[in-house]
């Protein structure tokens, strides 16, 4: 889920930035230090949008920089357990499909693609259902549910996805099911 997070931190402004307007210098430092960082509590920080408030700086003996208590807003993405997402398949591997969900990827394990038995065609890079013959390939748009999240200090979050529930899966499969239901209800 995308949100705007309010974050408070102390920003060190080095002496070479003293000639710049203070807010611009602080914003520049925040963007360099925070954008692209993954935090377990906040999520992935995509962009620092603005500096809401900063205090008069303090200089510490032996360091020529000024330190400012700062409150700023950041656009973040934090996946939530059981959240339904729309994504695009970016890679098919023997054990499943990687799905791009905005700034990060999640994995749909082969056991979570569909109720059908899934086989992997390494030549074509496709997962295929044994009975339904439905295929999942790179570029397919899918709807999935987040079933596990492992976020830590590293930049790689581990997100587990499922497509085995009603209303989830390849968008083409969902549309096929909807059309079948329309035909049955009209009879």
61: DSSP letter:
T
pTM beyond 0.75, yes or no = yes
pLDDT tens readout for residues 17-48: 999 999 999 999 999 999 988 888 888 899 99
Instruction: Please count the residues of the chain.
Output: 187
Strands 104-109 and 58-59: unpaired
- What are the percentages of helix, strand and coil residues in the chain, rounded to 5? 20, 50, 35
Taking only the tens of pLDDT, the chain with its 187 residues reads 899 999 999 999 999 999 999 999 999 999 999 998 888 888 889 999 999 989 888 888 888 899 999 999 999 999 999 999 999 999 999 999 999 998 889 999 999 999 999 999 989 999 999 998 999 999 999 999 999 998 765 556 789 999 999 899 999 999 988 888 888 777 6
User: What is the structure's pLDDT at 182?
Assistant: 82
Cα–Cα distance, 170 to 176 (Å, whole number): 10
**Burial tier of 66 (Cβ tally within 10 Å: 0-12, 13-18, 19+):** buried
Contacts with 88 (C-beta within 8 Å, 6 or more apart), sequence order: 99, 100, 139, 140, 141, 142
Domain boundaries, the chain: 2-77, 84-186
User: What is the structure's pLDDT at 82?
Assistant: 95
Class in CATH terms, 2-77 = alpha beta
Cα–Cα distance, 166 to 37 (Å, whole number): 35
Cα–Cα distance, 35 to 128 (Å, whole number): 39
CATH code of 84-186, in short, is 2.40.50.140
Cα–Cα distance, 102 to 124 (Å, whole number): 26
């Amino acid at each position: 889920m995308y949100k705007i997070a309010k974050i408070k931190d102390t920003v060190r402004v080095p002496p070479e930035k003293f000639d710049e307007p203070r807010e611009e210098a602080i914003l520049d430092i925040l963007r360099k230090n925070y954008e692209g960082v993954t935090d377990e509590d906040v999520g992935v920080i995509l962009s620092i949008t603005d500096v809401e408030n900063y205090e008069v700086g303090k200089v510490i003996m032996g360091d020529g920089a000024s330190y400012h208590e700062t409150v700023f807003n950041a656009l973040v993405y934090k996946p939530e357990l059981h959240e339904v997402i729309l994504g695009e398949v970016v890679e098919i591997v023997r054990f499943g499909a990687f799905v791009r969900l905005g700034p990060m990827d999640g994995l749909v394990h082969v056991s979570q693609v569909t109720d059908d038995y899934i086989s992997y065609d390494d030549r074509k890079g496709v997962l295929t259902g044994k009975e339904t013959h439905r295929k999942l390939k790179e570029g397919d748009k899918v709807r999935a549910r987040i079933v596990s999240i492992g976020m830590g200090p590293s930049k790689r979050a581990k997100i587990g996805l499922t497509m085995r529930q009603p209303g989830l899966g390849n968008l083409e499969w969902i549309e096929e099911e909807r059309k079948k239901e329309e035909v049955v209800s009209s009879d």
